[in-house]
Structure 1
Amino acid sequence: MSGPLDGVRVIDLTTIYSGPIATSILGDHGADVVKIEAPGGEAMRPGFRQRRNGVSGPFAMMNRNKRSLVLDLSEDSGKRVLERLLGGADVVVENFRPGVMGRLGFGWERMQAINSRLIYASINGVGPTGPYANRRVYDAVIQAISGMASLQADPTVERPQMINTLMCDKLTSITAAQNICSALYAREKTGRGQRVEISMLDSSLFFLWPDSMANFTFIGDDIPKRQFGSHAYFVRQTKDGYIATMPVQPAEWSGLFTALELDELLGDERFATPRARQENGDLFQQLITDAYAQFTTGELVERLGENEVPFAEINSREAVIEDPQVKAMGALVEFEHPYGGAMRQPRPPGRFSDTETDIFRCSPQLGEHTDAVLDEYGFDSNEIQRLRDQGTVA
């Protein structure tokens, strides 16, 4: 089987995290993604921590299912090569700061003239306009602007905390991949490509709004603002560790009370509804906290399961690898990278009945596919050799 995006040709000009993850998703779905790299290689290629035989673990994950072409875009000859690549591509993706593509000579009007069917996806921090548009932007900056860092604030000290993963980069990647697929679908109806701008700030606000920003949906003073909820209550200390529970429906709360031997709370009006539990929150939380501490984690696993309460043991990062559900799903794939050796990565998350998503190819060596890609895009062997001699490609 071939992937759902089989036949889609993508020129990937992106670096670091947000762009490479987005284009790797397209590659996971079968698109032919050509990663354009400067002669020195992409910044993430050397890696900062986990490496083997010169292969960086993060780079290998974010650049699987791609081919690599080295191209010097600082030279006019390199720009002419890019123009020809764009002429035969379906999608081009970049995550430069606003204005860079225009200065390179590849603004949207020029791209339309080169290829009217081209989808041009531009991933950036905060969009091309506004007081922050020319700032350098990374994940922590967007966590700060979007309010995400304040979600994690410790209420006892009111100190904001960053989420300990590149949340904004990664959710922007998923948003970008989805937007690109929508633009490809629209092209099937119109016959024309279009420009798609995806900002990290837009993506993060959309992600936060349904729950974390619910107080700000209604404009005006007629709807009173409510106290912000805390997910800290989902983590409970047991006699010998921790467990996560998230009862939502009435039957799940009843199951929790039974599991914790708090059946007397079932008929207590102070705790009968979400509003009542909130109004009597301090007492309720103390009763619940004390009850959890009476049981070991293993005992609670049995009791919560028997009473159909949503729960899970809290895995360490190491324990994730051995989790029985992760293993049963086949969620982690082990394979042999030709340079990096034995590796483990998550499979593409979507499961398709008629088309395949997979790790079709490992992350490429720098310039590994330069000649093959140029040949496929119409360059003859003499042209390719001349470009190599000039240092335009490598």
Structure 2
Amino acid sequence: MDVRLPLTGVRVVDRTDGLGEMTSRLLADLGADVIRVEPPEGAASRRQEPVVDGVSLYYATHNANKRAVVAGPDDFRRLVDTADILVTHAAGDLDELRDRRPELVVVAVTDFGLTGPYRDWQATEWTHLALSGALCRSGLPGREPLLPPGSLAYESAATQAAWAALVAYYNRLDNGVGDLVDVSVYEATAQAVDPGFGIAGSAGGGVPAADGPRGRPDARHLYPIFPCADGSVRICILAPRQWKGMFTWLGEPAEFADPELAKLHRRFAAAGEIYPAIGRLFATRTREQIVAEGQQYGVPTAALLSPTEVLHAEQFTTRGAFTGVPSVPGALMPDGLVEVDGRRAGIRTPAPEHGQHTGEVLAALKPVEPATASTAPAGRTRPLAGLRVLDLGVIVVGAELGRLFADMGADVIKVENKAFPDGSRQTFDGALVSASFAYGHRNKLGLGLDLRSDEGVAIFKRLVAQSDLVVSNFKPGTMESLGLGYDQLKAVNPRIIVADSSAFGPTGPWSRRLGYGPLVRAAAGLSGLWRYPDREDGFSDASTVYPDHVAARVEAVAVLAKLIGRRRDGRGGTVSVAQAEVILGQLQHQLAFESVRPGTLVPVGNDGPDDAPYGLYPCAGDDEWCVVTVRGDDDWRRLNDVLKTDLDLPAARDRIAHRDRIDAAVRAWTADRSPRQAMAELQAAGVPAAMMQRVPELRDDPHLVHRGFFRTMHHPRIAEPMPTENGPALFQHVEEPPLEPAPVMGEHSRAVLIRVLGMSGEEVDALIAEGVVDEFC
């Protein structure tokens, strides 16, 4: 037991098999005692591909830091009697368990949730990506949409489930009442991978995906990729200062000297002239040269790395981002997703053998009388009410972290300055608040404060003295340069928790690189995988904002764990997340396989390699598609009953060998049906299938409507009502988020300084006159 980890003393019983395994792994990384309960024959995930020398690398990566027991019904109930949190992948006997132990937090992670018309539907990674709105924006114009690589849906949903679990547990610490936390992978994918109704990247000019074009937009100009002497590089030119650097780098050509090109939309309009010039500049340079010169000129730049290059990249090896898999000599796996108090919350013990800890765990159990019904209030509350957060976060990941806490009741004060506004305020139309910004900053207060001035720093420190959490995602070293590093803030408030996120982490040779999500995806190997296999230049991740939203959730889990630990030991501390390492953690079993079988992790496009049919099929209508995925022989028999083919292909190897014939049969069948009709008929037969749902269609999806996925938000500076996502899960005792409008710059400066610091109106007036404080007028 590592008492320095924040969840030390919290017991989690893990009754999962595939779904939910990473949820409990995240809690285990942060110190929880996670006891995995399996049947006598072992969990199916112990045999899940990829398998090397009889070892499932999926199981090895998703179950490290846990203990494993084989337990029958009676022993399972005894274990639950000692648990704080139960994570399960099935409905089962949840009501009985909650009646037996009312203070238990039960987290049910299922594909579609415990209620709703899709509750019993079948799902896979690809069906979730199709239905959630992620697929419709992935790919190049004029081509079929492209399914994103890896396991982004399931891994992101697991992170959201961990956040929801700790929210309910934190609530229990205050009121003694447990909860049933109903997590739907479908809904979590729609919220955490690339949300259509969430804050978007600043290159989008404040326009959310819900208001974008019907088809796949040609977004390659936003974060362009250029071939070079030894591969490819990506650049991000968003701010005027970055364009100035690029202009200088190009040699200040007269044809690009127009001052109007400092504006984002003008540069995008001129991309047809600017990008060929950049391409000529890069053509004879290596990736290393381009990245170095990009740093010199202040142009955010990253090399596109292959998976094998990622495994041995200097940044990741210096930071110890990978560790060995003891049961597979030579294999590497990501060593955790987050740092706590300057230490990696990574692998302490390998994934357990089947039943490895049965004796020691069951022998230590003492008879526990079932709890009586709690007398605590059984109403709904906002668990984080009473916490104060000073939010210096910018762009997407910064916005999301603060919003997650604000949604759960925390007093979140967004601190910025009119001279250096949040980049996500940048819009094409000059609006004070865009829909994108409104999504990302709802429920926050706005404080305009100049942290470049001594007076501004002094005011910030006074706020720190009365706060619980400071969050930022500046380039590493920025907070220290302002005199606001953890050591300085700890001197003001020893209980303060300081959380930061950055592209590559606070240490290592890449730590000071300018970083945006598209650059992180490139350097972490994801961009190279997110392309059409038949086109070397078919990169298709430009319109996504991944991993920002999920990185914010990883950080939120660790921060809330620190707050839970602070209740025990009274100590503050630090949390640090590298976005690149979040991506590595979400590709962990694929990267582990690549480490022992180099060249196996490659773009697969829309053809799943492990069975057939497994892919994307055209439906009736214009650019309409349905994902159909067969997971094994039973799925194939059910599908073949629907298709009524004469194909006798009882095993996966037979089906893979005849993929073309099967695909032709599926295409002929789907072509006569709308995507929703095809989905409904196949799901009725028990076949995992999903239409490619466009973002606006989510609002009318019957399952989302039934589960209250959307609510309506109003902002005084946005004319139309805004459909906005609800909470991260369905709870019994956690209130829905409030829907207070996002602030304009400095909107609440006066109110915050008077309420929190007890300043007089005259004092605030003087600070405004001096330019230390900004106030919206």
Instruction: Report the TM-score when normalising by structure 2.
Output: 0.46
| AA partner of residue 718 (structure 2) | G
- The answer (yes or no) to whether the contact 2:464–2:493 under 8 Å persists in 1 is yes
Within a 5 Å distance, the mapping from 1:181-200 to structure 2 comes to: 181-200=560-579
Q: 1:154 is paired with a residue of what secondary structure?
A: coil
Q: 1:215 is paired with a residue of what secondary structure?
A: helix
Within a 5 Å distance, the mapping from 1:270-285 to structure 2 comes to: 271-285=649-663
Does 1:21 pair with 2:404? Answer: no
Does 1:33 pair with 2:412? Answer: yes
Q: Identity across aligned pairs (percent)?
A: 28
For residue 106 of structure 1, the aligned residue among 456, 479, 484 is 484
Measured at CA, do residues 220 and 56 of structure 1 come closer, stay the same or move farther in structure 2, by a change above 3 Å?
closer
- The answer (yes or no) to whether the contact 1:50–1:57 under 8 Å persists in 2 is no
Measured at CA, do residues 110 and 302 of structure 1 come closer, stay the same or move farther in structure 2, by a change above 3 Å?
closer
- The number of residues matched between the two structures is 384
Q: Deviations over 1:175-234 (max 9, x none)?
A: 122221111111112210111111110111112224x43523xx546x995876544543
Q: 1:377 is paired with a residue of what secondary structure?
A: helix
Give the superposition deviation at 1:298: 6.1
Q: 1:253 is paired with a residue of what secondary structure?
A: helix
Measured at CA, do residues 363 and 226 of structure 1 come closer, stay the same or move farther in structure 2, by a change above 3 Å?
closer
Q: 2:773 is paired with a residue of what secondary structure?
A: coil
| AA partner of residue 379 (structure 1) | G
Give the superposition deviation at 1:289: 3.9
- The answer (yes or no) to whether the contact 2:520–2:579 under 8 Å persists in 1 is yes
Q: Deviations over 1:143-182 (max 9, x none)?
A: 1111111222211123351423101222212212222111
Q: Give the structure 2 partner of residue 95 of structure 1.
A: 473
Within a 5 Å distance, the mapping from 1:1-394 to structure 2 comes to: 1-40=380-419, 42-44=421-423, 46-49=425-428, 54-163=432-541, 164-210=543-589, 212-213=590-591, 215-216=593-594, 220=596, 225=600, 229-232=604-607, 233-240=614-621, 241-262=624-645, 264-265=646-647, 268=648, 271-293=649-671, 297=675, 300-341=678-719, 342-381=721-760, 382-394=762-774
Name stretches of at least 5 consecutive residues in structure 2 with no aligned partner.
Answer: 1-379, 608-613
Q: 2:580 is paired with a residue of what secondary structure?
A: helix
Give the superposition deviation at 1:291: 4.7
Give the superposition deviation at 1:249: 4.7
- The answer (yes or no) to whether the contact 1:237–1:243 under 8 Å persists in 2 is yes
- The answer (yes or no) to whether the contact 2:396–2:424 under 8 Å persists in 1 is no
- The CA distance in 1 between the partners of 2:744 and 2:602, in whole Å, is 52
Measured at CA, do residues 350 and 261 of structure 1 come closer, stay the same or move farther in structure 2, by a change above 3 Å?
same
- The CA distance in 2 between the partners of 1:252 and 1:260, in whole Å, is 12
- The CA distance in 1 between the partners of 2:391 and 2:674, in whole Å, is 51
- The CA distance in 2 between the partners of 1:110 and 1:319, in whole Å, is 49
- The answer (yes or no) to whether the contact 2:425–2:434 under 8 Å persists in 1 is yes
Name stretches of at least 5 consecutive residues in structure 1 with no aligned partner.
Answer: none
Give the superposition deviation at 1:309: 1.5
Measured at CA, do residues 133 and 208 of structure 1 come closer, stay the same or move farther in structure 2, by a change above 3 Å?
same
RMSD: 2.6
- The CA distance in 1 between the partners of 2:550 and 2:696, in whole Å, is 24
Q: Give the structure 1 partner of residue 139 of structure 2.
A: none
| AA partner of residue 137 (structure 1) | G
- The answer (yes or no) to whether the contact 1:46–1:54 under 8 Å persists in 2 is yes
- The answer (yes or no) to whether the contact 1:47–1:58 under 8 Å persists in 2 is no
Give the superposition deviation at 1:8: 1.1
- The answer (yes or no) to whether the contact 2:384–2:408 under 8 Å persists in 1 is yes
- The CA distance in 2 between the partners of 1:196 and 1:302, in whole Å, is 45
Query: Which shifted more, 109-118 or 272-281?
Result: 272-281
Measured at CA, do residues 162 and 104 of structure 1 come closer, stay the same or move farther in structure 2, by a change above 3 Å?
farther
- The answer (yes or no) to whether the contact 2:562–2:573 under 8 Å persists in 1 is yes
Instruction: Report the TM-score when normalising by structure 1.
Output: 0.88
Q: 1:116 is paired with a residue of what secondary structure?
A: coil
Measured at CA, do residues 300 and 248 of structure 1 come closer, stay the same or move farther in structure 2, by a change above 3 Å?
same
- The answer (yes or no) to whether the contact 1:6–1:30 under 8 Å persists in 2 is yes
- The CA distance in 1 between the partners of 2:553 and 2:461, in whole Å, is 27
| AA partner of residue 563 (structure 2) | L
Give the superposition deviation at 1:322: 2.5
